[in-house]
């Protein structure tokens, strides 16, 4: 499954559990549906649909999912470098603000 679909499935799992349905599990479905959720001895077939949006990056339109994937790769690279140097332990959130020339500078890393 795509990362955004997995994120949606995990979020949906949390939502169903927040309704007091007890433990909720899910597995990949045959596509369609994308996932089969199990809750309260019942199965739910769930199809996840993404609305693809584009954003302006450096004066050109890019798919929002492509921007997210690129930023995820940068974050994973930063974390891997910091872990290799033993600078990180625990969990962290990386927040990106607009950075002029990010693509150029990330190639030099």
Q: What is the pLDDT of residues 21-56, one digit of tens each?
A: 889 999 999 988 999 999 988 899 999 887 667 777
| Shared-domain flag, residues 35 and 74 | no
Q: Residue 13's pLDDT is what?
A: 93
For residue 86, the model assigns a pLDDT of 83
Q: How many domains does the chain have?
A: 2
The predicted pLDDT at position 7 comes to 83
Cβ atoms 34, 48 nearer than 8 A: yes
Write down the pLDDT at residue 70.
83
- pTM for this prediction: 0.48
**For residues 33 and 71, what is the distance between their CA atoms, to the nearest angstrom?**
29
- The answer to whether residues 60 and 25 belong to one domain is no
Residues 6+ apart with CB under 8 A from 71: 96
Largest Cα span, the chain: 53
Q: Is the pLDDT of residue 90 over 70?
A: yes
Domain span including residue 27: 3-46
């Amino acid at each position: 499954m795509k990362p955004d679909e997995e994120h949606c499935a995990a979020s949906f799992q949390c939502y169903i559990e927040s309704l007091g349905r007890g433990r909720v599990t899910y597995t990949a479905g045959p596509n369609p549906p994308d996932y089969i959720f199990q809750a309260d001895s019942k199965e739910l077939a769930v199809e996840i649909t993404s609305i693809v949006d584009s954003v302006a990056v450096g004066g050109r339109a890019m798919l929002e999912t492509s921007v997210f994937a690129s930023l995820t790769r940068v974050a994973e690279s930063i974390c891997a470098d910091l872990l290799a140097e033993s600078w990180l332990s625990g969990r962290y959130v990386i927040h990106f603000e607009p950075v002029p020339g990010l693509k150029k500078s990330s190639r030099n890393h």
